[in-house]
Structure 1
């Protein structure tokens, strides 16, 4: 590895692995995952690396990346100044406040690490059959999952978001397993659901929404039963309190209005109630279309089909008097 960000991403992938496998929660700030780094540099043209320096006190991938890049720069500078012999085998600490590494303790050789055999521990023989059996028992790991999602046509941003958390990936897979459109399911999970989880400081396994209900919500939008605006309201209520999409639509009378005549009546009323804005619109202030659309949507309690609403509204606003 050559850079801090490369090492940090390697460690982040290890974190994903231990979480996917259920080995640990992998939280660095809790000490569930600890990462120390060893750094050595070599001048261009030199085959052998220089003296190794260890860095500790790294409690995040961000600090790991910055500590490595600093230490590389420190060692390179010493070499460039002809002071390469001042790079000694030691353990250094990452000082977050000063954004630098500082000496913790010097080490002269392997004896300082106090390595010695443990006579009470028997040797362990790991057979090829045992390794094969473990390999076959593994769940789908992050890299394989990323490849599968890429083949679905998802962007790398989508793929990385969905696979970063095994529980999020499981929720997504279950949602599309219920028949939900892949891209729409991704958009909902990366948008409103992710925002809710962040604001409430919750994990996806703790919300009341199920993959089945998310698939039902997406289906209701695609079929034109509800608008996107109404869908958001339903989504947030189900995430917080539970319930079903169909039950909520029926209980609150949220079915989208798709009758042209009903929408036309609401448009006529809004136009009649706003003669000044109508005059301004027809005088060239066409951005007022958004104002009229908002008033019609308000009149319909958010249930008017947006596409049909705008079609009827434009016809009425541009009608010759």
Structure 2
């Protein structure tokens, strides 16, 4: 067979039937892959006519005109680019952070703790809400719990505030009150520390480390043991009212502190009874004796609004009663 002097020489062992004009990426093999025939033969789909591609045509190969970063599809399957042959491997997904590892910040841990631990625990207790505001369902009053946050020195500190507001006084607003901000419409407002044995303000701190979740769990326990019972008690429709403000109890509390007895957290009048609430125990005879003296002091005022002093713990459980005219014994 005659050939042109400038045409490339055919390799040894190649069938003479392959006489098509050479073009980059086009040949019997390329036609077989694109058309799905897949017949055996050789492909001259190379840019160098002196070095033909002698690979079998039974396997699909990427044409020279197609980018190597794209997958080539045919009826035999889809072939992804090979990194060893110049293809670009897929980008690896960034590693997911685990709460408590060395790379987690205090803000990330706090957000995880509130979203995955604090909020679900409060909803299980009967609260409704999200993020930093929760409330107990009631037809007449808003019983709200708010989470107040402070950021400082790479740490996150937060506390819990409580408030009870009549819905009739809040009718001009469509959302619940914010327990972290006083509005002057509340029936009652206090930080959670005032209903706990410690008194005053109580803050929990979240910092990076393996024990970051302890603060969140402790705050949930404080809500369950102290905040929830107090809010439920204040939702009861009764004629309960304060007898003395906390500042007016300072003198009595100073005397209790000298005797080593926990302070009176609040004094309230209800149905002719003066109730004293504090962190006391029935198994503490010293507290019983000192509180009996405090009850004598209250009864000596001869206030006609009450004839009985009842002592209760922080959960509202009655401990002792001191009636008028019987100052020595507790019922």
TM-score, shorter chain, exceeding 0.5:
no
Q: Which has the higher helix share?
A: 1
Higher Rg = 2
TM-score (normalised: structure 1): 0.23
Q: Which has the higher strand share?
A: 2
